[in-house]
A and B are shown apart, each in its own frame.
Chain A
Amino acid sequence: MGRLRRLVRTVKVTGALLRAALRAELQYRANLFVVCVGLVYQGSGFAFIWVVLDRFETIAGWSTAEVAFLYGLRLTAHGLWVVPFNRLLELDITVRQGEFDRYLIRPLHPLLQLLTSRFWLGSFGDIIGGVTILGVALTLVDVHWSPVTVVYLLLALVGGALVESAVQLLISSFTFRILSTRPLQVATDTVFNTFGNYPLSIFRGAWQWLMTFVLPLAFVAYLPASLLLDHTGGLAVPAELAYVTFPVGVVWFGVAWWVWDRQARHYQSTGH
C-alpha cells in the first residue's frame, strides 16, 4: 500500500513540475519557433532520401514510400523518447557544476527532477514530423492491416522509444564517473537520426550485427518496418527478432535505469 501511494505521489509531483516547466517555456512566444527548428533538421534528412530516390527509385529494393514508412516510424519513436528525455543531454553540465546537489536533497527521484527541470518545445517538432511522414506513407505502402498488425505497430513505436532512451540513459550514467558524456550522447543521437533511416541491408554483415546487438538501432524502426512490409531479405541478422521489438525495449530500458541508479551513487559534488 505504501509503495502504491509513493508511486501516485511521484506521478503527481512529476506532473506538477512538468506543467510548471511548460508554462515557463510558453512565456516566450519565440520559443514556439524551435518547433520549426526540429522539423527542419528532420525534414532535411528526409529531403535527401527523397531526392536520391527520385533519381534512383529504390535502395536495397525499398521504394520511396517504403523508406518513408521506415523514416516515419523511426522519427515518431524518436519523438516519443525525446519529448520526455531531452534533458538528459544536460546531465553532464549539471553534474560538473555541482547543480546535481539540489536534486539529491529534494524528495523525488533525481532523474525525474532533471527531466522536468525544463521543457524543450523543439522535441514536438520530431513528433509532428514523424506522425506526418508516417501518416502519408501509410496510405502509400502495401501492408496487410488487421487488429494484430495495428497493435504490433503501436507496441513497436513504444519499444523503439524505450530502446533509444535506454542507450542514452546508459551513456549519460557514465557522467558520474567521467564528467563529460555530452559529445558521445550527441554522436549517438546522430547515428540514430541518420543511420536509422535506411534499410539495414545496405550495411555490411558485421555492421548489421553491431547495429542490432551492440547499438540496438535496428529495433527502433528497421526490424518492425521490414516485418510489416515483408522486406526481410538481405539481412545478416535473424528477421524473427522483429517480433520481440517491444520486450527488447522493455529489457534494455529496465537495465539502463538500474545502471543509471547505481552510477548516480558515484556522484561527487564540486563542493560549493
Chain B
Amino acid sequence: MLVYRANYVTSIIGALLQILLLKVVWTAVYAGRDEVDGVELSTMVAYVTLSSLQMWFLMQSSTSMVPERVREGKIAADLLRPIGLLEQTFAGQLGRACVMLPLAAMVLPLALIVGDMRPPASLAAGVGYLVSLVLAIAIALLIGAILGLIAFWTLEVRGILFVYRHISQFLSGALVPLWFMPDWLRLLAEMLPFQAVAATPVSIYLGRLSSDSAVRAIALQAMWVILLYVVGRIVWRGALRKVVIQGG
C-alpha cells in the first residue's frame, strides 16, 4: 500500500490546492459581503475545507481491490476463501482507511493553514457529526465496493471510476453546498446518495441543520446504507455468474 507513496503525495497536493482555490473563489464571489442567505464567508470557507478533506479521505479509502484482482487473475484465490468477496472488499477498504488516518492527521494542519476551520457549532453538533461521518464512510465504501464489481463485466474500469469520482464530488455538495444550488439541481442531489457522503456531516458539524433536520438527515443516511447494502448483494449475485479467471 505505502509503496506507492507518490500517489499519496499527488492526492494530498491535489486536495490542498482544491481547498486553496475554493477559498479564493468563494471569497471573490462574496465580494466583500459578510454573509449571503445567512451564511457567513468564514462558515463557507470552513465548509469547503472540511468537505474537501473528507472527500479526499473517502475517495482514497473506498477504492475496491476487486478490479486489480480480476485483472491479475488472483480473484480465483479470493473466491475460494471462506469469507465472501464483499466482506473481503470491506476489509481491504477499512485497512486502507486505517493507513489514511495518520496521513489525514498530517494533512489537517496544512489544510488549516490553506483553508479555515473552527470547532463544531455545539457539543450536539460534534456528536452528530461523528455519527453522520461513520454513516458517510459506510456509504462511500459501499458505493466503492459496488463499482468495483463492474470489473466482472468489463476489465477496464478506470474510466468509469474517474467519471464517478467527478460526478459524485459535484453532487455531494463538497464544492457548492446544496443551499446555494439552483432548485432543480438541489432536488437531484437530494435524491442521490452522494450528498449523504459530504454535505450531511459537514452541515451538521457547522450547525447548519436544526436538531430535527439533523436527525432526519442521519436517518436518511442510515436508509442509504441499508439500501446500498442490498444493491451490493444483488449486484454481487449477478457478478458471480460473470466470473472470468484471467490465466487461471
Chain A residues with CB under 8 Å of chain B are: 30, 33-34, 36-37, 40-41, 44, 47-48, 51-56, 58-60, 180, 182-183, 186-187, 190-191, 194-195, 198-199, 202-203
Task: Specify the chain A residue showing the minimal Cβ separation from B176.
Answer: A51
Give, as a whole number of angstroms, the nearest-CB distance from B4 to chain A.
11
- 12 A-B residue pairs with CB within 8 Å: A30-B156, A33-B159, A41-B166, A48-B175, A48-B176, A51-B180, A55-B181, A59-B29, A187-B13, A190-B17, A194-B17, A194-B18
In the complex the two chains form, is A44's CB within 8 Å of B25's CB? Answer: no
A224 to B156, CA, bound (A): 40
In the complex the two chains form, is B180's CB within 8 Å of A55's CB? Answer: yes
- At the interface, yes or no: B28 with Cβ under 8 Å from chain A? yes
Given contacts A34-B159, A37-B163, A40-B166, contact A52 B17 (CB under 8 A): no
| 16 other A-B residue contacts (CB within 8 Å) besides A40-B162, A52-B176 | A36-B159, A37-B162, A37-B163, A44-B166, A48-B170, A48-B175, A51-B182, A52-B25, A52-B180, A55-B181, A182-B6, A187-B13, A187-B17, A198-B24, A202-B27, A203-B24
- At the interface, yes or no: B230 with Cβ under 8 Å from chain A? no
- At the interface, yes or no: B154 with Cβ under 8 Å from chain A? yes
In the complex the two chains form, is A30's CB within 8 Å of B17's CB? Answer: no
Q: Which of A33, A40, A191 interacts with B167 by CB under 8 Å?
A: A40
Contacts of B175 in A (CB 8 A): 48
Task: Specify the chain B residue showing the minimal Cβ separation from A62.
Answer: B28
Contacts of A186 in B (CB 8 A): 10, 14
Task: Specify the chain B residue showing the minimal Cβ separation from A61.
Answer: B31
In the complex the two chains form, is B17's CB within 8 Å of A180's CB? Answer: no
A51 to B182, CA, bound (A): 7
Q: Which of B27, B167, B181 interacts with A44 by CB under 8 Å?
A: B167
Among B146-167, those with CB < 8 Å from A are 154, 156, 159, 162-163, 166-167
Q: Which of A34, A53, A190, A203 interacts with B14 by CB under 8 Å?
A: A190
- At the interface, yes or no: B21 with Cβ under 8 Å from chain A? yes
A249 to B167, CA, bound (A): 34
Sorted nearest first, the 4 A-B pairs with minimum C-beta distance are A202-B28, A56-B29, A44-B166, A183-B10
A86 to B234, CA, bound (A): 40
In the complex the two chains form, is B17's CB within 8 Å of A202's CB? Answer: no
Q: Which of B6, B21, B176 interacts with A183 by CB under 8 Å?
A: B6
In the complex the two chains form, is B154's CB within 8 Å of A30's CB? Answer: yes
Contacts of B3 in A (CB 8 A): none
Scoring B residues 112 to 153 as 1 if CB is less than 8 Å from chain A, else 0, what string do you get? 000000000000000000000000000000000000000000
In the complex the two chains form, is A59's CB within 8 Å of B25's CB? Answer: yes
In the complex the two chains form, is A44's CB within 8 Å of B21's CB? Answer: no
- At the interface, yes or no: B64 with Cβ under 8 Å from chain A? no
Contacts of B24 in A (CB 8 A): 198, 202-203
In the complex the two chains form, is B28's CB within 8 Å of A60's CB? Answer: yes
Give, as a whole number of angstroms, the nearest-CB distance from A171 to chain B.
13
A194 to B166, CA, bound (A): 14
A40 to B181, CA, bound (A): 19
- At the interface, yes or no: B185 with Cβ under 8 Å from chain A? yes
In the complex the two chains form, is B162's CB within 8 Å of A41's CB? Answer: yes
Q: Which of B18, B25, B154 interacts with A202 by CB under 8 Å?
A: B25
- At the interface, yes or no: B169 with Cβ under 8 Å from chain A? yes
- At the interface, yes or no: B9 with Cβ under 8 Å from chain A? yes
A169 to B175, CA, bound (A): 31
A114 to B182, CA, bound (A): 46
A44 to B159, CA, bound (A): 15
A47 to B169, CA, bound (A): 12
Contacts of B10 in A (CB 8 A): 182-183, 186-187
Give, as a whole number of angstroms, the nearest-CB distance from B170 to chain A.
5
Task: Specify the chain B residue showing the minimal Cβ separation from A44.
Answer: B166
Contacts of A191 in B (CB 8 A): 17
Query: Which of B6, B27, B182 has the largest count of A CB atoms less than 10 A from its CB?
Result: B6
Q: Which of A44, A59, A180, A199 interacts with B170 by CB under 8 Å?
A: A44
In the complex the two chains form, is B21's CB within 8 Å of A194's CB? Answer: yes
Give, as a whole number of angstroms, the nearest-CB distance from A173 to chain B.
18
A44 to B28, CA, bound (A): 20
Contacts of A56 in B (CB 8 A): 29-31, 36
